[in-house]
Structure 1
Amino acid sequence: MSKAKRLLDILIFVTTKKKFTAQDIADEFHISVRTVHRYILDLSDMGLPIYSEQGRNGGYTILTSKLLPPILFTEEEAISIFFAFQSLNYYRSLPFDTEISSVENKLYSSLQSDTKIKIDKIRSYIAFWNPKRTIDTPLLNDVLKYSIMNKNLHIQYNSKSGIRKKHIRPIGVYAHDGLWYLPAYDFHKKKILLYRIDRILSILSTEENEDEFMNLKEWFNFVEVKNPIRLHVHLTAEGVRQCKSVPYFDGFVVMQEEGTGYIDSIIDRGDLNFITSLFLRLGKHARILEPEELIIGVCKQAKEILTMYQDEN
């Protein structure tokens, strides 16, 4: 067996055990203890964080439990993983301790030269683009951690109406359009609301929960309509195209043969404020038939914009 293959086998063995003796390795691989010590020095030189303990109960310990053993990928798998990282490059904050560029560099450097050439060529023709945001999200890691730990949070939140204290139960975090969002149950309003994580100014305190709550995956499949209202809108072909690019309307848009379409669905009345600006942006490409509140809201925003420019002139 080649030395490289033997080192790989020992690396997988020790990262699984975490604490071991030279005799453990010698017995497992049927080699001498002296040879084991040489291999351990080689692994240490390669960057494996091994700590040696002397004495009767001594041995070796892997200093970190987060080091993964080598995984063998095919060329296509490695390329797929490499370009999956590209979509994360546009986020200023990530819920991980390491820079994604560090992971990319390690993967890239481990590839064979012909695969590197292939990646270099592909990256000139493809990008998973998101708007480049300059907004910091310093509490992203903490919010994700407490979500996983099933804890309630008391937070200071910078909402449109000013800085408010909120008592919430996090569901999880997700990224969209270059920003990070937190769906959470608001104990005061007694419903699930969506929070921008960059607007969370501080986490004041936390509370333990004994019971389980829905996670993010379950929330994505759960639609709570406590105050139902009909949304009926006629769309031009351009309106159809734009609505299909908005995640909120996914599944709502019905396309007709000539390319135009419509939305005729039941939504929660609490979503009206959110979708008003969306329909204002669509302009003449969306004619709202119902509800009346949405028509009034769009007209009000349009008049405010028109008045602002009329005042300037």
Structure 2
Amino acid sequence: MAKSRRLVDMLMFINTKRTFTAKELAEEFGLSVRTVQRYLLDLSELGLPLYSEKGRSGGYRVLKNRILPPILFTEEEAISIFFAYQALQYYHDLPFDAGIHAALQKFYVYLSEETKKKVDKMSAHIAFWNPKRNLDTPYLRELLEASLAGKYVEFLYDSQTGQTRKQVKPLGIYAHNGLWYCPAYSCDKQKVLLFRADRIHSLKVLEKDENMSLTLKGWLETEPVNSQPISLKVTLTHEGVRQCKGVPWLENHVKVARDGNGYIDTITDGNELNYMASFFYTLGAHAFIEEPQELIEKICYHAEETLRHYKNEAGTKDE
């Protein structure tokens, strides 16, 4: 058997055993103990994190996490994985211990020379980009582990009204637009609430647990339930259509006419009027709200507040 093939077989065997002796490997593969030790040295140089324990009952132990057995990728698969993994480097924190640059470098080393040249050339022309945020999100791992274990957590959360204490059951975490989010079930509200992970402080995992059929994937794929349904009707210019198409909660509700203008006619959640007012206010004349009236009033209030602010600033400078 070729040495390369024997190394692969030995690597897969070690990955299942975790702790072993050179004698066990020698018996398993029909080799001498000295040959096995040379093979282990080769595997260690390739990146297998081995720890040698001295003494009569000593042996070898694989450090840290289990390693993956060799996987054969096509050139296109390898390139797509390389660039997709690069997207993680834009996140300030991750829920797992992984050095992005070290992992990418390790992946890059084992690419063929031809593939390396292709990756080097493509690096200047493609990126899975996210806005680079410098917000600390120290509890990503705790949120993820609590969701996996079905545990509740308690934390302080920065909301519009200040810091409030929450007891919730996380469904998981997801990344979007450079930020981490955690949907979690609240017993008090009897529904799933969405939290920004960077606004979570002083988290602790509670002993309380509960089996729930709802998962993060299920929640993301479920249409939101409007607890206070109201009619939303908006006329949009071409630019208004473009802006609304780029917003996840609106893109499926935008109808486009032949001239490029459009409109929205749907049912939405009245509890989100403040958020909607802030969004449509930024569109200015590119969106005309027909209903609800309360949304129109909130947008007018935003405009009046802005006008009053700048008038006050102008008056202060005149004095």
TM-score normalized with structure 1 length: 0.92
Contact 1:171–1:213 at 8 Å: present in 2 too? no
What is the letter of the counterpart of residue 242 of structure 2?
R
Q: Partner amino acid for 2:274?
A: N
One-letter identity of the residue aligned with 2:296:
I
1:111-154, Cα deviation, whole Å (9 max, x unpaired): 12221111111111112222221211112222222122211111
1:254: which partner in 2? 255
For residue 270 of structure 1, report the CA deviation from its aligned partner. Answer: 1.5
Say whether residues 1:226 and 2:227 are aligned partners. yes
Q: Is the 8 A contact 2:15 2:66 kept in 1?
A: no
Give the corresponding residue for 1:74. 74
Counterpart in the other structure of 1:150: 150
Per-residue CA deviations over 1:69-113 (Å, capped at 9, x if unaligned) read 222222111100111022222211111212212211111122122
The DSSP-based 3-state class of the residue aligned with 1:203 is strand
Write the letter of the residue equivalent to 2:257. Answer: Q
Structure 2 gaps of 5+ residues are: 315-319
> Does the Cα contact within 8 Å between 1:288 and 1:295 map onto a contact in 2?
yes
CA 1:131 to 1:55, structure 2 compared with 1: closer, same or farther past 3 Å? closer
Mapping of residues 1-313 of structure 1, within 5 Å:
1-52=1-52, 59-222=59-222, 223-313=224-314
* Fraction of identical pairs, as percent: 51
Please give the secondary structure, in 1, of the residue aligned with 2:311: helix
Partner SS state of residue 108, structure 2: helix
Matched to 2:295, the amino acid is L
Per-residue deviation, 1:203:
1.0
Separation of aligned partners in 2, 1:162 and 1:179: 20
Q: For residue 317 of structure 2, what is the aligned residue in structure 1? A: none
Q: Secondary structure at the match of 1:248?
A: coil
- Structure 2 letter corresponding to 1:102: A
For 2:8 and 2:166, locate their aligned partners in 1 and report how far apart those are by CA, in whole Å.
Answer: 51
Secondary structure in 2 aligned to 1:266?
strand
Q: Is the 8 A contact 1:18 1:65 kept in 2?
A: no
1:195/1:210 CA distance change after superposition, 3 Å:
closer
Q: Secondary structure at 1:111's aligned position in 2? A: coil
- Alpha-carbon distance, 1:43 to partner: 2.2
Deviations 1:175-222 (A, max 9, x none): 122111111223333332211111111114523323224111111122
CA offsets 1:144-168 (integer angstroms, 9 cap, x no match) = 2212221111111111111111121
Tell me the distance in 2 between the aligned counterparts of 1:205 and 1:31.
49
Amino acid in structure 1 at the alignment position of 2:136 = D
Q: Which moved more, 1:200-209 or 1:172-181?
A: 200-209
- Alpha-carbon distance, 1:33 to partner: 3.8
**Contact 1:168 1:186 (8 Å CA) reproduced:** yes
TM norm structure 2: 0.90
Aligned residues: 313
Unaligned 5+ segments in structure 1 are none
Is 2:237–2:260's contact at 8 Å kept on the other side of the alignment? yes
Q: 1:60 to 1:130 in 2, by over 3 A?
A: closer
Name which of structure 1's ranges 22-31 and 10-19 shifts more when overlaid on structure 2.
22-31
**Partners of 1:171 and 1:216 within 8 A in 2:** yes
Provide the C-alpha distance between the structure 2 equivalents of 1:168 and 1:36, rounded to a whole number of angstroms.
Answer: 52
Matched to 2:31, the amino acid is: I
Deviations 1:28-74 (A, max 9, x none): 43433442232223323434233445778664432334222222222
Task: Determine the C-alpha separation between the residues in 2 that align with 1:232 and 1:150.
Answer: 40
Distance 1:29 1:22 in 2: 11
* Alpha-carbon distance in 1 for matches of 2:258, 2:104: 45
| 2:265 match: secondary structure | strand
> Distance in 1 between the 2:31 and 2:23 partners?
9
